[in-house]
Chains A and B, each alone.
Chain A
Amino acid sequence: MTETMTKLQDIFRDFFDDEDIVLTDETTADDIDGWDSLTHVQLIVAVEKAFSVKFSTVEVMKLKNVGEFAALIEKKTA
């Protein structure tokens, strides 16, 4: 697991209050209890704060899974 993915997993565990969450590149909202369109924005803001990055509306909209999310973070922090 990459450093970005490990940090992302910690954020997810903290945000969804679930220590059992294990992220993979293919993880989507369907795989995590409580990750819906209403909580999505709060999760994005939590990730923005943790990595000190900003995502645009379209960037967020186009994310298909956690793998793409991690890749976007790495692109922004590179």
Chain B
Amino acid sequence: MITLSTDSVFYIAILLMAPLILRNNSHARRYIFLVLNLTVFIVSMKEITQLIVAALWLILPYLITKLADKKSLKNWRPATITVMVACFAYLMHYDAVFNTLHIPYVFPWRILGLSYFLFRQIDFIMQYEYLRETEVRLTFLDYINHLLNFYTLLAGPILRYEEFVTDFYSSVKPLTKQDIFGGLNRALNGYLKIYVVSAIMSYHASYWFNGLKNHSNIITTAGAFFLFAFFNCWYIYFNFSGYCDIVNSFASLAGLTLHENFNRPYLAASVAEFWNRHHITLSEWIRDYLYSPMFKALLTGPCSKNAAFGQYIALFLTFTIAGIWHGTDGNYLTYGLFQGLGIVVATSFKSWRKKHWPKEKNKAWEKDIRVLTAGRIITWSYISLTFSFVGYDVLGLLR
């Protein structure tokens, strides 16, 4: 049975009300947005200690950034980000680290949207100097509105500070009938994706997963696992893209633009292409702040004679870290390792073709419908199997 929690009803009410009070060009718009953001944020808190820690998490990096920039301190960025990542791991309860170190958790709760705060804060810290030099608005109010943006609080998309501020202060045009019906149509599709399609997929994924232990034959077990993986990957897609449809359409009705997060990912013909189409804002963030700096450091250091090897190391580590970011147990680490492996295989095959085949043959290969179809089937199968580690204790089955 489909049920709506009190939190969901409250969130839907805010989404419906927001366009009525946010779609204007008044000076008060930023304050109205702040009130809405703080309301959603405070309602998501379970106790006062949690609220205090979350408030400190939001405010301290801003103050450190302002102070370090004013005093022209050196190496404050890596130091601040390292401390933030360590605190993040502690607040998210990464048991493998803290149980091994025998460090007890002081707080039993976790903060909603913490990982998304971290992404946006690292972006803000890294870009602060550039933002100041290019005279982008840099006020505490805008910083808080950016971090607490209630449209993106739960699961992104991951907006960049400059992108958010530029969009927020752009002139808002009056709503047309097309805007209203187009927006509501997309939002309704989003709700159908979440509450109907993904709910059905989730039901079947759980059904096949729970039945896995009852199989004694390896062939039927493999068949059941594939069915579980099939339903689970579609559950993830419909649930997440449905959520993005809802927040993007309601934000658009309120005069705000959010980055698109999906571009038909299961049409990708390789794992590398898949990550350009699925959770796009995360892919771009890890490309900018993990892959590129890591690859550049390898390329100008230990891998200066072997660029391809440096690239594979950077890709593998980037996706492994992204996997660990998704969740705190070994299943997410395994998921990250498999994504890393998949993208390394896809990239090395492309490099091999580029090196050994003439350009014309390469182009013909990439456009060949048989190659594309085979690539899509292989990519989809691989992604489905690796996504089975997301949300289910697959490693637990092996114990």
Chain A interface residues toward B at CB < 8 A: 33-34, 37-38, 40-42, 44-45, 48, 57-62
Contacts and interface: CB of A to CB of B under 8 A. Distances in A.
Given A34-B354, A57-B288, A57-B289, A41 B126 contact: no
A27 B389 CA distance: 42
A40 B307 contact: no
A61 B288 contact: yes
Interface stretch (B137-145, B249-257, B294-302): B294-302
22 contacts: A37-B276, A37-B291, A38-B272, A38-B311, A38-B315, A40-B292, A41-B292, A41-B295, A41-B299, A41-B311, A45-B296, A45-B299, A48-B300, A57-B126, A57-B288, A57-B292, A58-B127, A58-B129, A60-B292, A61-B288, A61-B292, A62-B130
Nearest to B294: A41
Interface of B: 126-127, 129-130, 272, 276, 287-289, 291-293, 295-296, 299-300, 307, 311, 315, 347, 354, 359
A40 B295 CA distance: 10
**Chain B CB within 10 Å — which of A41, A58, A59 has the most?**
A41
Contacts, number: 38
Given A42-B307, A45-B300, A37 B287 contact: yes
A72 to B, nearest CB: 12
A34 B355 CA distance: 12
Contacts of A59: 130
Contact of A58 (B126, B300, B347): B126
Contacts of B130: 58-59, 62
Nearest to A40: B292
The 8 closest A-B pairs by CB, nearest first: A41-B295, A58-B130, A45-B299, A61-B288, A41-B292, A41-B296, A37-B287, A58-B127
A37 B287 CA distance: 8
Contacts of B354: 34
B272 A44 contact: no
A44 B291 CA distance: 14
Nearest to B308: A42
A21 B313 CA distance: 30
Given A38-B272, A57-B292, 10 more contacts: A37-B287, A37-B291, A40-B292, A41-B295, A45-B300, A57-B289, A57-B293, A58-B126, A60-B292, A62-B130
A44 B296 contact: yes
Nearest to A60: B292
B132 to A, nearest CB: 12
Contacts of B289: 57
A38 B299 contact: no
A2 to B, nearest CB: 24
Contacts of B296: 41, 44-45
B177 to A, nearest CB: 35
A33 B238 CA distance: 33
B247 to A, nearest CB: 25
Contacts of B311: 38, 41-42
Nearest to A45: B299
A60 to B, nearest CB: 7
Nearest to B315: A38
Nearest to B130: A58
B234 to A, nearest CB: 27
Contacts of B287: 37
A19 to B, nearest CB: 12
Given A45-B296, A57-B293, A38 B126 contact: no
Nearest to A17: B359
Nearest to B307: A42
Contacts of A62: 130
